[in-house]
Every structure is written in C-alpha cells, then in structure tokens.
C-alpha cells in the first residue's frame, strides 16, 4: 500500500509541475493538459477505497472485534456475518 501511495503522489506532483510549467510558458499548452490528466490519475488512485484486497476472513475478524468491543449488537453481528459469508 505504501508503494501505491508513493506512485500516486509522484503522478500528482509530476502532473502539477507540468501544468505549472505550461502556465509560465516553459511547457506547451497541449502538454499542460497532459499534465492535468496525469495529476488527476494520481489523485484518483490516491482515493481508491482501501476495501480492495481484504479477504472475507479479514472482514469477519474486524466484525468480531467490533462485536467484542460492544460496538455492534448481536443482531447486527449476525446479519453482517451472514452477508460476509454469503458474498462471493
């Protein structure tokens, strides 16, 4: 996850530099638009939900922790557990 974060920030910073370069005239305007696109890709990748890659076991473990702390009722625990187990 740390590598993805470094890549996203790198894309964002590079895109920002290209756009800034087009504003001050050292980069052609067409390339400036490419910089904007690169920056937006970096920004979008940064905000990809962290839910990706979590297994059912991870989600069940988190649910059990919340239930053990009293943050999730017995009924909600059963409902969420059945939803997680039933998901593919």
Same domain, 40 and 63: no
Split at pLDDT 50, 70, 90, the class of 1 is low
With respect to residue 27, please indicate whether it lies within any of the assigned structural domains.
yes
Q: What is the pLDDT of residue 85?
A: 87
With respect to residue 60, please indicate whether it lies within any of the assigned structural domains.
yes
**pTM confidence score:** 0.50
The domain of 73 spans: 56-86
With respect to residue 51, please indicate whether it lies within any of the assigned structural domains.
no
Same domain, 6 and 40: yes
Same domain, 37 and 11: yes
Using one digit for the tens of pLDDT, what is the confidence trace for 8-67? 888 888 888 998 999 898 988 888 888 888 888 887 877 766 555 678 888 899 999 999
For residue 87, pLDDT over 80 is answered with: no
Number of domains in the chain: 2
Angle, vertex CA 34, rays to CA 12 and CA 51, nearest 5: 40
């Amino acid at each position: 996850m740390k590598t993805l974060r470094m890549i996203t920030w790198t894309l964002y910073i590079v895109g920002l530099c290209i756009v800034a370069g087009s504003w001050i005239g050292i980069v052609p305007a067409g390339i400036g638009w490419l910089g904007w696109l690169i920056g937006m890709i970096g920004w979008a990748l940064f905000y990809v939900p962290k839910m990706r890659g979590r297994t059912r076991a991870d989600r069940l473990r988190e649910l059990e922790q919340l239930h053990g702390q009293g943050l999730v009722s017995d009924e909600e625990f059963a409902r969420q557990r059945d939803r997680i187990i039933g998901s593919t």
